[in-house]
Amino acid sequence: MSCKKISLYFLLISHLLSFTLAATNSSDILYDIYPYVRVYKNGTVERFIGTQTLPPSLDPINGVRSKDIYGIAPKLNVSARLYLPKNTVNPKKKLPLLVYFHGGAFFTESAFSPTYYNHMNSLVAKANVVAVSVNYRLAPENPLPIGYEDSWLALKWVFSHSEGGNGTDPWLKSYVDYGRVYLGGDSAGANIAHNMAIRAGLDKTGRVKLLGMFLNCPHFWGKKLIGSEGGGDPQRRAVMESIWIHAYPNSTGFDDPLSNPAKDPNLSKMDGKRVLVYVAEKDILKDRGLYYKRTLRRSKWNGIVKAVEVKGEDHVFNLRFPNTTKAMKMLNHLASFLNRD
């Protein structure tokens, strides 16, 4: 073994030992929400997924360009990854814009992780849209509602590039049709997208205007269990409840309007005209997503909502297995959805 390899080997071992020692000295676990996060009493936070990142780049296959933006909100760690499709040769033809919020149970993942980098690259190429993937701060270091506030700041920053605004990013100023802005997200990110649409509907400045939204396996919950929530796997149900309790310790509970849209008095004021909801048959959140569709229809919200249930699949299957037939069909459907006026 070369000296260089030996040095790297011992560096890795040293890193692992230091982390193990920190965990051991913590004496006890405060809470454990596997497979997302484990938090120790001494403040150590251990994330099991979503910690890897990929840099922005020019995708050699589909021609999508990406870049990172930092400092969206002064003094706050709010950032985003921007995506520009290959077909931007006609500056007079503005493109739809997708503002996307990543999932990860409010505890893990980022706009820069391989999962979301690959997903956004594929969707931007297929739909020929500009995209902004928002990187909000995570619990437990930054408990909710910080993630919501970060996301709202990012959304307002995006719209500062519309006509009359002071935004300076050339991609957002030159290529975006601000009459065709969509929100999107999966799991916890879908929850955030919905709540941003509510805030947009309540925004008295009138600057943030949305055309539609798609929600992939949205993370909604409620005090009263519905459908398979009550009769399904109790361990999965406990994980869902633990996520909200620890991500938002000062929440009013599972019927907080941020968690349960059916309890939101402002639901009918949600901005946008079209909503597409995807749920998966084996997902414990499936019935809550279908209930969201029914609740939105019963409200006085003036728009069209459609739900698609994918048989035989589980939570955010399209992100975990993006090359399957069902995932590709979903990708094509989302691309078509983003290109309707």
Q: How does residue 91 score in pLDDT terms, banded at 50, 70 and 90?
A: low
Q: 6 pLDDT exceeds 80?
A: no
Query: Would you say residue 243 lies in a domain?
Result: yes
pLDDT computed for residue 228 by the predictor = 85
CA distances from 240 to 162, 269, 335 (A): 38, 27, 30
In a domain, 13, yes or no: no
**Structural domains counted in the chain:** 1
DSSP-assigned letter for residue 50: S
Confidence tier at 92 by pLDDT (50, 70, 90): confident
The pLDDT value recorded for residue 89 is 66
Question: Domain with 263 in it: what CATH number?
Answer: 3.40.50.1820
292 token code pair: 């969201």
pLDDT at residue 231 in the model: 79
What mean pLDDT is reported for the chain? Answer: 91
Domain membership flag for residue 1: no
Other beta carbons less than 10 A from residue 156's beta carbon: 19
Q: Answer yes or no: is 10 within a domain.
A: no
Whole-model pTM: value is 0.91
Residue 300 has pLDDT above 70, yes or no: yes
- Strands (E) in 155-303, as ranges, are 176-186, 212-216, 274-280
Say if 23 falls within a structural domain. Answer: no
Answer yes or no: is 9 within a domain. no
Active site residues: 187, 283, 315
Distance CA(25)–CA(163), nearest Å, equals: 55
The answer to whether residue 207 is domain-embedded is yes
- Measured CA to CA, the distance from residue 321 to residue 281 in angstroms comes to 16
Residue 19 lies in a domain: no
The domain containing residue 142 runs over which residues? 29-339
Task: For CA atoms 12, 18, 19, 20, give the dihedral sign.
Answer: positive
pLDDT tens for 136-155 read 999 999 999 999 999 999 99
pLDDT at 5 over 50: no
Neighbours of 8 (CB within 10 A): 11
